[in-house]
Amino acid sequence: MPLPDIGQFVYISVPDGPFKGSYDSRLQEIHQDHLVFDLPTALNTHTPKVFHEGTRMVITYNDLDEKVPYSFETLVQSIRPNQMLVKSPSEILRNQRRDYVRIQVSLPVQVLYVDSAAQQIFKFSGKTEDLSGGGMSLLVDEGSPLQSGSFVGLDFPISMDGQTYPISLKAQVLRMQPSIKFPGKKRCAIKFVEIREQDRKLIMRFVFKKQIELRNRLKGK
C-alpha cells in the first residue's frame, strides 16, 4: 500500500487524550523506520500543535494516482523544531467506508434554513473553511439562526478545468462554535445528508486537484 507523497497534505485524527481532535499536516521526509511531518495544525484554530511523544493518531490521505483514501495508525516518536517524527506504519488500510479527505478552501455558500417552529424561512450566505466529499466547515455570522442539529439546503460553486459547476444539496449542522480566527463568526461542522452522487464525485475530484496543486506548488513546479 502506498505512503503519501513528499509534500502531500494529510488529515490527522487524535482519538483521545489532551490533543483529541482533527488536524492537518504535510509529509516532509520518508525514512525506513519513521516519517517526518510538519507540526500538525488544528482545523479549528489553524495553530500548530506540539504533540507529546507517544501520542497515538490516525493519518488519512488520498493516493494521488488511484484517487482512493488510505489510512494508518501510528504514534509520535519525537518532536523537532517545526517537525513531528512518527513511527512508520506496520499496516496501511485502504478505506472501504466513506472517509473523505478534506482541504482548506474558501468558497461562497448560499444557505436556506426553514425554522418550522417559528414558521420562518432564512436565506443567508457563508463561506467554507474546508471541504470534503462528505461535508464542510462553514463560517456564518454570529447572529445566524442555525443550531446544532439543524437541517439546511446549501448551494455553492466549484471551479476546475475552466468550468464552474453549481452544487446543490441538503445537509445537517452537527455542531457549532465561535470562530477564534474570525471574530463575529460561528464555525459550523456540516455533514452532507442528501447529495447527488455526481455532485459528490465532482467535489472529490476538486479536492484531489487542489491537493495536487498544493503539492506541486510546494515542490516549486
Q: Which residues contact 152 (CB under 8 A, 6 or more apart)?
A: 111, 112, 113, 146, 170, 171, 172, 173, 190
Cα(57)–Cα(59) distance, integer angstroms: 6
Q: Which amino acid is at 78?
A: S
What's the pLDDT at 101?
A: 77
- Domain ranges across the chain: 9-94, 103-216
| pLDDT in single tens digits along all 221 residues of the chain | 588 889 888 888 888 899 988 788 889 999 999 999 999 987 656 678 999 999 999 998 876 555 567 889 999 999 999 999 999 999 998 765 455 778 889 999 999 998 877 788 999 999 999 999 899 999 999 999 998 889 999 999 999 878 899 999 999 999 999 998 889 999 999 999 899 888 988 898 888 888 777 766 766 65
What would the CATH number be for the domain defined by 103-216? 2.40.10.220
Q: How confident is the model at residue 156, as a pLDDT? A: 97
The per-residue pLDDT for 158 is: 93
Take residue 214 and report the three cell numbers written for it.
498544493
Q: Do domains 9-94 and 103-216 have the same CATH topology?
A: yes
3-state SS assignment for residue 199: helix
What gap in Å lies between CA 50 and CA 33, rounded to an integer?
A: 21
pTM exceeds 0.85 for this model: no
CATH 1.10.20 applies to domain 9-94: no
